[in-house]
Copies of this chain bind each other. A is one copy, B any other.
Amino acid sequence: MPDAVLPHARPVPLDKAYRLINHGPTVLVSASHGDQVNAMAAAWACALDFSPPKVTVVLDKSTRTRELVEASGVFVLSLPTVAQASLTVALGTDSAKQVHDKLARLGVQTVPAPGSGAPLVPGCVAWLVCRVVPEPHNQQAYDLFIGEVTAAWADERVFRDGRWHFDQAPDALRTLHHVAGGQFFAIGQAVSGTPTE
């Protein structure tokens, strides 16, 4: 990982990758094909399997990002932070089909992932590179894409030893959880459940 650009990113073992999105964060979905790259916000991403780790994500047919995902067979889920709430709204509002230099206008310069070159969004706290598992019926009927996670990284300030540690880092690094219309909640306090019997 290029230290100067993502200085806190550390690899996450694939068998722990599901934990990056298990708590239901809003994500940025990015993809590239040829010299094109784009990213969009998505609240509808979810873990699907542990090993090999798989995820689902809903990508509307109107989006440029979906076209790049279909062309390349690869997408990245990046987890934005409280500090990136406005950027996340902008990435979810503008379309690269109308605003052709969308990423440049928003000041986003993606970073190629080691190995695949898939575009990671800087400033996020986790990144999952996913290979599309082709399921044409789901993609057409439900806009639902399945991806197998092939590489993952997380920001060591908030994710270490296979767990999130938001309580020990600045609140600006907490993940975002979208409700509607640009209104989010940050992830909150740790809560431990113990079996009742």
Contact = CB atoms under 8 A, between A and B. Distances in A.
Interface of A: 19, 22-26, 43-49, 54, 56, 58, 82, 85-90, 93-94, 105-106, 135, 137-138, 142-144, 146, 162-164, 166, 171, 174, 176-180, 182-197
B179 A186 contact: no
Contacts of A87: 193, 196
A48 B144 contact: yes
Nearest to A176: B191
A189 B192 contact: no
21 contacts: A22-B178, A22-B179, A22-B180, A23-B24, A23-B179, A24-B177, A44-B47, A45-B46, A56-B144, A87-B196, A106-B196, A135-B138, A137-B137, A142-B146, A177-B177, A177-B187, A182-B192, A183-B192, A184-B191, A185-B187, A188-B189
Chain A facing B: main interface SS? mixed
A174 B191 CA distance: 11
B46 A86 contact: no
Given A48-B44, A86-B196, A142-B146, A185 B190 contact: yes
B187 A193 contact: no
A106 B24 CA distance: 26
B189 A185 contact: yes
A195 B135 CA distance: 34
Nearest to A49: B142
Given A82-B191, A90-B195, A90-B197, 16 more contacts: A22-B44, A22-B179, A24-B24, A43-B47, A44-B48, A46-B58, A89-B193, A90-B196, A93-B195, A105-B197, A163-B179, A163-B183, A174-B188, A177-B177, A184-B193, A185-B187
